[in-house]
Amino acid sequence: MNVIVDTSIWSLALRRKEAGKIPEVLELKELIRELRAKIIGPIRQEILSGVREERQFQVLRERLRAFEDLEIISADYERAAEFFNTCRKKGVQGSNTDFLICAVSERYQFPILSTDKDFQNFSARLPIRLHSPRQFEGGEHSTEDATREDN
């Protein structure tokens, strides 16, 4: 199953020197290897925003072009607004982009991989699933398809 990879994971992978030891980053690498890592345009924008060096921006943009954006339709924006309102009524806040990710996730039935704790709050209130990194044994990333989806 494909997985929507949130900006928080990409940021860890791209900006941390010790990223290779972080379970979520190792999971991203496996998802990429398996051609299962998916993004949407707003995630692409967040990843590219704030890159200070023009050369780094160009290189990153070119690398991200390997990932086709999942299509976003008008109904996704409407559903994201519904999710925003549902969560707000329950005292849970989030960004418009986060709720759009949730809406796209629901429509495609793809779980979300994120380190952003907001998504755990959302998953308790919205019809979305979260993707957890596979288990590691002896410091190595498991190659078996032990995908866990919470919720």
Task: Enumerate residues 6+ apart whose C-beta is below 8 A from 58.
Answer: none
- In whole angstroms, what is the distance from residue 128 CA to residue 102 CA? 6
pLDDT greater at residue 19 or residue 70: 70
pLDDT at 149: 45
pTM of the model: 0.88
Q: Is residue 145 part of a domain?
A: no
pLDDT at 129: 99
What is the domain range of residue 94?
3-124
What percentage of the chain reaches a pLDDT higher than 90? 83
Q: Is residue 44 part of a domain?
A: yes
pLDDT, tens digit, for every residue of 115-149? 999 999 999 999 999 999 998 565 555 444 433 44
Confidence class for position 17, pLDDT limits 50, 70, 90 = confident
Burial class (CB in 10 A: 0-12, 13-18, 19+), 36: middle
Element of type H or E holding 72:
none
Q: Is residue 27 part of a domain?
A: yes
pLDDT at 20: 77
Query: In sequence order, what are the beta bridge partners of 51?
Result: none
Q: Is residue 65 part of a domain?
A: yes
Confidence class for position 18, pLDDT limits 50, 70, 90 = confident
- For the chain, what is the domain count? 1
Q: Supply the CATH number for residue 98's domain.
A: 3.40.50.1010
Q: Is residue 8 part of a domain?
A: yes
Q: Is residue 138 part of a domain?
A: no
pLDDT, tens digit, for every residue of 36-87? 999 999 999 999 998 999 999 999 999 999 999 999 999 999 999 999 999 9
Q: Is residue 149 part of a domain?
A: no
Q: Across the chain, what does the average pLDDT equal?
A: 91
| CB hemisphere CA count around 10 (13 angstroms) | 23
Q: Is residue 99 part of a domain?
A: yes
